[in-house]
Amino acid sequence: MAQKPQASRSSQSGFPIAPLYGPEDLSDDLAERLGEPGQYPYTRGVYPTMYTQRPWTMRQYAGFATAEESNRRYRQLLDAGTMGLSVAFDLPTQMGYDSDHSIAAGEVGKVGVAIDSLDDMRTLFNEIPLDQVSTSMTINAPAALLLLLYQLVSEEQGADPADLKGTIQNDILKEYIARGTYIFPPAPSLRLVSDTFAYCHKELPNWNTISISGYHMAEAGASPAQEIAFTIANGMEYVRAAQAAGMNVDDFAPRLSFFFVARATLLEEVAKFRAARRIWAKVMKEEFNAQNEKSLKLRFHTQTAGVELTAQQPEVNLARVTVQALAAVMGGTQSLHTNAFDEAIALPTEKSARLALRTQQVIANETDLTATVDPFAGSYAVEAMTDEVEAEAWKLIDGVFAHGSSVQAIEQGFQKSEIEQSAYHIAKSIDNNERVVVGVNKYQFDDDEPYKPLRVDPTIEAAQADRLKAIRAKRDNAEVERCLAAVKAAAQGDQNVLYPIKDALKAMATVGETCDTLREVWGRYVPPEFF
């Protein structure tokens, strides 16, 4: 056999990409490590038929300005053929502040929809039957509150809570690592997550109680191996917290889900998804002794990589998003959001959001990727890369738990430091032209057609404040105070806090008032300084 040429490129995880792969690059136990689709260790997918009977869920992430405007966008997306909703909340909502709080100034409705009360949630889902759609909500620190508001609206519609399907992100640990929209310190935050697991097991059995997210770590600069390693380590921490609260692993693990990015490095991304399924199955079976097959299956949503989109020549992002979406589909995602081409500039317009959805529809209907399960199985390149990503991820997981736990590693800055080193390497490679970004460091030209982005009306902040003023004037404030006192008592004790929170929200307590009550008991997290 002729000698192989030397590798000239490296993967984002840091291992060399061979110019040629062959049988000698595969592990001896490949057949065992692959298994069959829908069977342990789920390398080839979590379901036997995957997309051959139905495609992935096309779930477009949307939300901006007011609940009324976002409701119009949701109905447009549903009319265009989207199969599930995905709610983006503005920063004040994510941080547990009402729109009329001083800290919310200038941010109301900017990066998502402003939700202050049950009244806003009613408007957000007006004329959308919640027992017939699947809804994902990207919300973390106050996730329990937004879920309860969603449940209250569905009950007003006459829906059976058992029929509600969807996901709350509810992943607070990655906020301490990469994103920053935390409210409370780690210990009470984990308690709130565990209380949500227990509440949903009893009250909302078909709801996915958490979406353990690597996406935001990837956007901060994590490599593919870091993305899945730190995400799975966080998942292990949530399982341990729930078990410490007295729950049986098989009572909540089937409702755990994950959230990953899809980059344009298609082969490594496919390998990453396959490796993640294999690692999670092994962890749940061998460490947590899960008996329910559903507890072993890593089900995940994917979003194309916003961080890879460029403001320069924004139409080129159409090509990037298509390649990223192909990586997610070939890697076996359960649902997918495709970014709009103009998101590096502003919130997507109605037309660009619809075009992003059409990208998925073309892949599902005009390619042959839905005709066969796991088309990359047995590929010398992808199988070798899967082994390499898995091995690197295991090293990083061991590195996390060498600190004692995922929380302790976070407190000592381990994950953050690793991600920052990766981000620096990526930025340096772009600056040095070692990594080509079309339109940025190669193939530039001056665009003669300036793009007109969507802009959020700045008057909505005052309008939201007026809505809050009217709500506080007409509600039974004595009842609100009584309900918030019950929330405080539950937070001080060991009662599941979601039950009194639901009562408070039903009485028209606001998101900010409820979070302030919890802040009063649990405090506010201030990150340590790392030098």
Give per-residue pLDDT as tens, 17-56.
Answer: 888 888 888 888 888 888 899 999 999 999 999 999 999 9
* Closest by Cα among 419, 400, 421 to 411: 400
pLDDT band at 1 (very low <50, low <70, confident <90, very high): very low
Predicted pLDDT at 184 = 97
pLDDT band at 528 (very low <50, low <70, confident <90, very high): confident
- Scan for tokens 């609100």, then name that residue: 480
The residue type of 500 is P
Decide yes or no: CATH 3.20.20.240 for domain 40-431: yes
- Return d(Cα 372, Cα 359) in angstroms, integer: 20
If DSSP codes are grouped into helix, strand and coil, which group holds residue 488? helix
Q: Taking 70 as the threshold, does the pLDDT of residue 399 lie above it?
A: yes
pLDDT mean over 218-238:
98
The residue type of 501 is I
Burial of 246 (0-12, 13-18, 19+ CB in 10 A): exposed
Tell me the whole-structure pTM to 2 decimals: 0.92
Q: Taking 50 as the threshold, does the pLDDT of residue 531 lie above it?
A: no
Q: Taking 90 as the threshold, does the pLDDT of residue 405 lie above it?
A: yes
- Return d(Cα 505, Cα 486) in angstroms, integer: 12
- Return d(Cα 514, Cα 267) in angstroms, integer: 46
- Return d(Cα 480, Cα 508) in angstroms, integer: 7
Q: Taking 80 as the threshold, does the pLDDT of residue 452 lie above it?
A: no
**What are the strands, taking DSSP E only, across 51-206?**
57-62, 84-88, 134-138, 165-168
- Return d(Cα 195, Cα 143) in angstroms, integer: 11
- Return d(Cα 328, Cα 323) in angstroms, integer: 9
- For the record, the structure tokens of 441 come out as 């460091």
How distant, in Å, are the alpha carbons of 36, 301, 340, 353 from that of 325?
24, 12, 12, 15
Q: For residue 433, is it left (φ>0), alpha (ψ between -120 and 50) or beta?
A: left
Q: Taking 80 as the threshold, does the pLDDT of residue 450 lie above it?
A: no
The residue type of 395 is K
